[in-house]
Amino acid sequence: MRDNMLKWSVQEGGVSLLTFLKERIKNTTSVKAIKRAIDGRSCLVNERIERFGSRRLKPGDQVKFLLKTETAKAPLIKKLYEDQHLLAIDKPVHRICSDQELQKLLSDYKGKIWLAHRLDKETSGVLLLAKSLEAKERLRELFAQRKIEKRYIALVHGLMFNEEGQIDSRLVVKKRLSGQTIYGNSCDGRGERALTFWKCLERRAKVTLIECKPVTGRTHQIRVHMSSIGHPIVGDLQYGKRIYEEGVERCLLHAQQLKFIHPFSGEGVLIEAVVPKEIIDS
């Protein structure tokens, strides 16, 4: 965040970050572009990445903002597997898993495609879809019965000294903030069980590349679990560090593999998505 970076010192507090930025760069870009830039990690308040335009600023706050040149590029959708019942794609980063978004990404299917599970907005990798309502129900049953083996690759902060381990906890909602739900480990036995096996793949200078195999499929499970043992995922602003990191534009978590028995043919299926360069080379 160096080139073309704008800086301000807040004189009068009480105004929202979005309003503050609109007043200063309204002739340069649209409000939608400002919102996208905030969501895209282009704004710092007091040297911490700020993702919420609703944040109320205080006198003396230091605001930094990098307005990037936008290119209206449609994401390239890579198909990883397809037959008459199922479709698997490599989900693009920064795309939410919703029926509306799915129709935009896969317009060729004319609305006849359904989500079988979900990935977080910033998570890339294997996303399994159904081409009929019957297939959707069969896949969801496989997920519910834990008959689909999932493998994720993540880059986490710090050096992990053990070669492998497991995290077994119960997850509960800790708080809700600006439309986002924050989860955490329960201290009193409440919540839903979450079990994750992890293994160290490579230790680097200040980070570790790991494999995670979640047995359960709780929302934000891997992110919460890694943060809970002191190794948050690089780029995770909800459960990790909100500092600016050069070249990191998202949470570095990738759904690398799904393995299961096909719900119609009974044959074994292995679907893999290549680990992105930003995780391999960071």
- Residues classed as catalytic: 120
Q: What spatial distance separates the first Cα and last Cα of the chain, rounded to whole Å? A: 17
CB 251 within 8 A of CB 236: yes
Q: Label residues 143-152 b or e (16+ Cβ within 10 Å = b).
A: beeeebebbb
Rounded to whole angstroms, how far apart are CA atoms 240 and 223? 9
CB 274 within 8 A of CB 255: no
Strand-pairing partners, residue 87, are 82, 129
Q: For 31, list phi and psi in degrees, rounded to 5.
A: -65, -40
Rounded to whole angstroms, how far apart are CA atoms 212 and 279? 14
Rounded to whole angstroms, how far apart are CA atoms 207 and 226? 13
CA trace torsion 89, 94, 96, 102 (10° rounding): -40
CB 87 within 8 A of CB 81: yes
